[in-house]
Copies of this chain bind each other. A is one copy, B any other.
Amino acid sequence: MADLDSVLGCLDLNLDRSVERLSALLRIPSISTDPAYGEQCRLAAEFLAGDLGAIGFEAAVRETPGHPMVVAHHDGPHGSPHVLFYGHYDVQPVDPVSEWKTGPFEPVVETMPDGTKRIVARGSADDKGQLMTFIEACRAFKAETGGLPCRVTIFLEGEEESGSPSLNPFLDANREELSADVALVCDTNMWNRDTPAISTGLRGLVGEEIVVKAASRDLHSGYYGGAARNPIHVLAKILADMRDDAGKITIPGFYDGVEELPEDVKKSWEGLGLSDESFLGEVGLKVPAGETGRSVLEQTWSRPTAEVNGISGGYTGEGFKTVIAAQATAKVSFRLVFSQDPDKIRAAFRQFVEDRLPADCSVEFHPHGGSPAIQLPFDSPVLQKVRTALSDEWPNPAVMIGMGGSIPVVGEFKNRLGMESLLVGFGLADDAIHSPNEKYEMSSFHKGQRSWARILAALGEG
């Protein structure tokens, strides 16, 4: 604990200098999706590899067919666990530039009327500020103790904002090197300004496009209306049948692998005090639309869904056309939880559609991706350590939350490297990531560094 205290003190003392280092990184416009910024992406990677080398990591810029990766290794005490830290150095485009109050790549520290400070720049929260919290914690440990409390690999990607095309081949080619006991992924938010969060569950996703076909051509509804099968009706009926009046999905076998939340987790979610109204009110809604009797947090974090993301058929322009369409299309996706099997869900949905196809209709299916849910065991010892470490740093204890969406890298770590991930980040919902005037709270940056110091210390205790 003496060590940790001095490390924390070092972080406090050096906050200004850490802001300067982050600012230097933020000045590099590493927009991965725009080929014009390829050289800038490389510069950001080199900056980070250089900084990690200066701390004492064995660090390298590693080539890919796209933007390079940064991989850096540092030993830990004998027998200490091996953790892999993941972040990304690339950033989103900055359009519309005219809406930025200051230059997107000219970081400024702004002081708000309430006295809080924030760092404003593209990438400040997503993800340069976040990844530097971990690097600063490592730097302070090295400065104060000469080493790190556990073995650390830092793995920084440069294509996260452009679909990560090089990620999977790189993981496969470097499986041994990158496999650790656990991954620490720093690209998520806190629950709120005072409450740190660990995301323990991420829903999976199955996408499926269906095309229902009837007549061999579009028909005039005057001549054929009443006698010809209308594929929009067929499609509407199938989609309507997918859910019952209680919001339950009716596809046979759909709930196989879905578990109920442990009672304590459910209670802790209730304790977050998020009302249905406040969650939905922001987007003009009030009443949870999912399974009756479940809170919005359950509905979005721990329950599966069947959503229609798009539908089209017939005449959709201005005015009116009395046509009976030859075909109608829907894009349907399923969010999966716990151990629901994407392949089984897809097959069950297809069967469900086939079973409802009337005479004269055929259907085409086009798959669009499928990934299982990620669910960290709630009783994992690592999870408990991180939870305690975070709770020690922040005003409120850390909460374990779910995430409604997917973070592909977490699935790939699990599938390709057999490695679970702990998602710990210090972003806030109003950070405006992907938008003009992105910011990162100074408290996120500072206490984020301190949080990682505590976590490294806790994990090193073995």
Contacts and interface: CB of A to CB of B under 8 A. Distances in A.
Contacts of A320: 207, 209, 309, 331, 333, 368-369
A222 B203 contact: yes
B203 A289 contact: no
Contacts of A290: 226-227
Nearest to A304: B226
Contact of A224 (B207, B286, B303, B404): B404
A27 to B, nearest CB: 30
Interface residues of A, number: 79
A240 B241 contact: yes
A308 B299 contact: no
Contacts of A207: 320, 322
Given A214-B285, A224-B283, A227-B279, A312 B312 contact: yes
Interface in A121-160: none
A229 B311 contact: no
A316 B328 CA distance: 11
Interface string A245-285: 00000000000000000000000000000001001100111
Give the copy number.
2
A296 interface: yes
Contacts of A241: 240
B215 A284 contact: yes
Nearest to A279: B227
B309 A311 contact: no
Given A226-B300, A227-B280, A286-B359, 10 more contacts: A209-B320, A216-B284, A221-B309, A227-B276, A227-B289, A233-B243, A233-B308, A236-B308, A237-B240, A309-B315
26 contacts: A205-B222, A214-B284, A215-B284, A216-B283, A219-B283, A221-B307, A221-B404, A223-B405, A225-B305, A226-B335, A227-B300, A230-B289, A230-B307, A232-B308, A233-B307, A236-B237, A240-B240, A310-B315, A310-B321, A310-B325, A311-B313, A312-B312, A312-B316, A319-B368, A320-B331, A320-B333
The 3 A-B pairs with the shortest beta carbon distances in the complex, nearest first, are A222-B405, A216-B284, A310-B314
